[in-house]
Amino acid sequence: MPPHNAYQYYPASRPRIINWPKIILWGLGILILGAIIAFFILDPLSIISDKADGLLNQVQGAGYDCSKDIYNCDNFTRQRDAQVIFSACFGESGDIHQLDGDGNGRACEGLA
């Protein structure tokens, strides 16, 4: 066996060893980091919640009481919830709940 010399360089023709586990782990790390960043930028839960609210409102649209003034802006935490009631009841009886004070078609504009 030839003596080992720590300062000896191997010739360029020697095959290079590829560290596949390290490459795979780096790729997975970048993929996970990208998914986390996309999650916070795109906010998919809000998008899904909005679509679910829309579907639920289509199914339950007839369940609102539009015959008397029982809904006020104080009853809602989000403007879009008040808008759903306003849209469901406006065609039947006008703005009986008085959710649209200035008549521009947006209910409870002071809510977020």
Neighbouring CB atoms inside 10 A of 82's CB total 24
Average pLDDT over every residue of 81-96: 72
What per-residue confidence (pLDDT) applies to 3? Answer: 63
User: If you compute the radius of gyration of the chain from its CA atoms, what whole number of angstroms results?
Assistant: 31
Non-local (6+) Cβ contacts of 62 within 8 A are 88
Provide the pLDDT confidence category of residue 10 given band limits of 50, 70 and 90: low
The encoded tokens of residue 31 equal: 């993929």
* Residue 79: closest CA among 100, 56, 52: 100
Is the pLDDT higher at 15 or at 24?
24
Under 8 Å between Cβ of 67 and 93? yes
Under 8 Å between Cβ of 73 and 108? yes
Average pLDDT over every residue of 73-86: 82
